A and B are shown apart, each in its own frame.
Chain A
Amino acid sequence: MVTAGSSAHPIEFEQVTKTFGKRTVLSDLSFSVPEGTVVGMLGPNGSGKSTAMRVLLGLYSATSGRARVLGQAKGDRGFAEAVRRVGTIIEAPPLYKRLSPIDNLRIRVAATGFSAGDAEVRGLLNRVGLAGRLDDPVGDFSLGMRQRVGIALALVGDPKIVVLDEPTNGLDPAGSFEIRKLIQELPGRGITTLVCTHRLAEIESTCDYAVLMQRGRLVAEGTLDEIRARSTVGGHRIQVAPEALERAVATLTALGLGQVSVDDGDVVLARTLDDPSVLTRALAQQGIYLRGLQTQHANLEEAFLEITGTDQDGTQP
């Protein structure tokens, strides 16, 4: 999946390892984010998500491997220019608390060297729902409002990439909903987005693709459906005539697609197939005709817990 310098993948991790002393925080991390998608980096607390983001942005140096943003890794000639095209919030939004949102954005505009007038800055703040509080010190703001200022900061200068670390941390449900809505709008503006979170609901509601991390390692990646399909919690429930039940079990078992059992008169295959017609064809070839077929998907939480073998806080069961 990793393609060096590929513009189709604005974010790339290539065998990135990061150690602090004897502690390995990232281990051989490789994945890439396709252009214009929202990718969720999911993992329990301490799984290395924030460290990966910092390596990507050049705040930390990788011990080995390369993390590229817009094809440029730290040390490359074009890295500074590439990073300038990235809007970020890592952990809490970095704000000057005694300044207004407008002044915070003015400093960001000046630092990046982008030309954005007052009208554009105000427009950006209006878009994140801060129209009525443009001149108040951000130190007086609630956590949710500060997070909105952070999002506005991340959007200064029409970034190509937005990297958000726990963007709904500390927000009430309404605030979280609004931030998710903002994130969902980003692909429409051509922005590639990496959302780093330990909240599965956030991934499910905003992301096209997810990368699952545990203890600094990538344990799974794929579309949300692909990740859900890896869980044994999902599967197919098949209804056949009672006299065909045993033959149906034998036929499906012979396919070797997963565990087959009988539950409440239905045949149950404990794996979700991308293409369930495999089942219908195999059964039809044996003269068994379906009365019904239901596909059950594991939710992302079930899949995540099964893949990582942990609860959401990273505790081993």
Chain B
Amino acid sequence: MSVFQKTGPLSVLHAFIDASRWRVSPENDAPARTGMISLYVLETGGCEGCAMEVESLCGSAFALERYGFRRVADPADADWLLVTGAMSRACVQMLDRVWKAMPPGKSLVAVGACAIDGGLFGAGYATLGGLKALTQVRKTIPGCPPSAQDILSGMQRLAGR
């Protein structure tokens, strides 16, 4: 345990060593990588709980790329659009803009109860009630919010892995 408490000139080196030791999903549990799927994440007006879980999944605590997924910063590079949030009417333009920027062969994935059907917030003067109000959504990951591990498992299921 003493190695974790070292401070001083070697602390950054220790931090490098410890970073892999504390990973939540050990890399050796991950299946061999097959075709990489690129993800673009979009929050459309929820509590941000699902968006924060996706952030966790894309961070260092999970070996996302070992499972065949990677996050991209530009929708033009994305295969899947991961949508979180209750789909506010004011966010429709944003969704449309991002969707059109994605290349052909793209897929829409609703992450969390709100993105699927509005969840607790439902439909109202300011919300549409999830993606189902706009289009048929075949790829869904339920939960309120789903954990990062749930999202990863859901994506593996949707990818047929």
The answer on A and B forming one complex is no
